Amino acid sequence: MSLWNIHAISLTAGGIAVKKVAIVLSILLAFVVIAELSAPRLIARGLEIGLRRTLGADVKIRLDAYPSLRLLLGQFEELTVVARGVDLGGLTAEEYALAAEQVIVNLRQLLMRRELRFVNQGRLTVQVTIAEGELSNFLRGKIPVLKDWRVQINAGSAVAIGKLPLQNIDLDVRVHGKFQALGKEKIAFVPERVEVQGVDLPAALVQALLQDNQFYIDLKAAPMPLELIDVKMEPGKLVVRARVLE
């Protein structure tokens, strides 16, 4: 066999090897492109199902990770979840907004069992908005004797309004106060003054009348137990910021 033929065969073999490498690289590139395009949708769907089971409500999710292949490892730079109608232990939230940064999710549990578990929570906070109408329902459920009462939320203050029977007379009562932290896991309505028929009652009498009827929200009763950061009273609503406990 001539040197020319040997050289030709060598070039042919080299060309085949290069083509094989090119094919493998093309397949890998196609896989990466497909994963980049499909990973967010696939993972978002799994998260929606897992969170729906955890929160007991429909959710909307926005997630971010770069590259998107990190999503297939359960690693998220940012994860935003908005849900409505989440039950916080008998109190229904108008809006439940979960914001997470640098978190890792157990994808095995999520995709196989539809259970959401965080391997590393990073920074995981929740902002819960509660309408004053729902607070009124919650108050009546907690203290049945106040069956016709309602809660009114103003900027920086709150008032519970209703009637109390005294013999054959229904007295108009207004309890002024604030929703404040009671430790890190509860939010209590703290009375500051009480009006009966437009007349202020002495503070000592108010405390004596209300000491056995404390009205509070237990954040541990939430689907994902919470630790309070702060609570604000805004017109018509209560806004609570909290951390999600592990």
User: Tens digit of pLDDT for each residue in 22-45?
Assistant: 454 444 444 444 444 445 566 666
Q: Is 68 helix (H, G, I), strand (E, B) or coil?
A: helix
Contact 61, 51 (CB under 8 A): yes
Report the number of distinct structural domains present in the chain: 2
Instruction: Look at residue 34 in the predicted model and tell me its pLDDT.
Output: 41
**245 found inside a domain:** no
Q: Which of 101, 121, 141 is the last residue of a domain?
A: 121
- CA 4 from centroid of its chain's CA atoms: 73
**147 found inside a domain:** yes
Residues 3 and 117 in one domain: yes
Q: Each residue of 195-237: pLDDT tens digit?
A: 888 888 766 666 666 666 678 899 998 888 899 999 999 999 9
| Nearest CA among 134, 126, 154 for reference residue 54 | 126
Residue 152 reports pLDDT greater than 80:
yes
Residues 14 and 114 in one domain: yes
Most confident of 112-116, 187-191, 208-212: 187-191
User: For the stretch 103-122, what's the b/e string if a residue is b when 16 or more beta carbons lie within 10 angstroms of its beta carbon?
Assistant: bbbbbeebbeeeebebeebe
Cα–Cα distances in angstroms (integers) from residue 77 to residues 42, 68, 80, 96, 119, in the given order: 17, 11, 10, 20, 14
Query: What's the predicted TM-score (pTM) here?
Result: 0.73
Instruction: Look at residue 188 in the predicted model and tell me its pLDDT.
Output: 92
| Nearest CA among 95, 119, 91, 92 for reference residue 105 | 119
Residues 52 and 140 in one domain: no
Instruction: Look at residue 113 in the predicted model and tell me its pLDDT.
Output: 66
Phi–psi pair at 58, nearest 5 degrees: -70, 145
Residues 113 and 182 in one domain: no
Contact 217, 203 (CB under 8 A): no
Contact 100, 123 (CB under 8 A): yes
Q: Is the dihedral of CA 169, 207, 199, 233 positive or negative?
A: negative
Q: Each residue of 64-95: pLDDT tens digit?
A: 655 455 666 667 777 888 999 899 888 999 99
Instruction: Look at residue 28 in the predicted model and tell me its pLDDT.
Output: 42
CA-to-CA distance for 90 and 94, rounded, in angstroms? 13
Instruction: Look at residue 194 in the predicted model and tell me its pLDDT.
Output: 87
Q: In terms of residue numbers, what domain contains 208?
A: 132-240
**11 found inside a domain:** yes
**In the predicted model, what is the mean pLDDT of residues 183-206?**
83
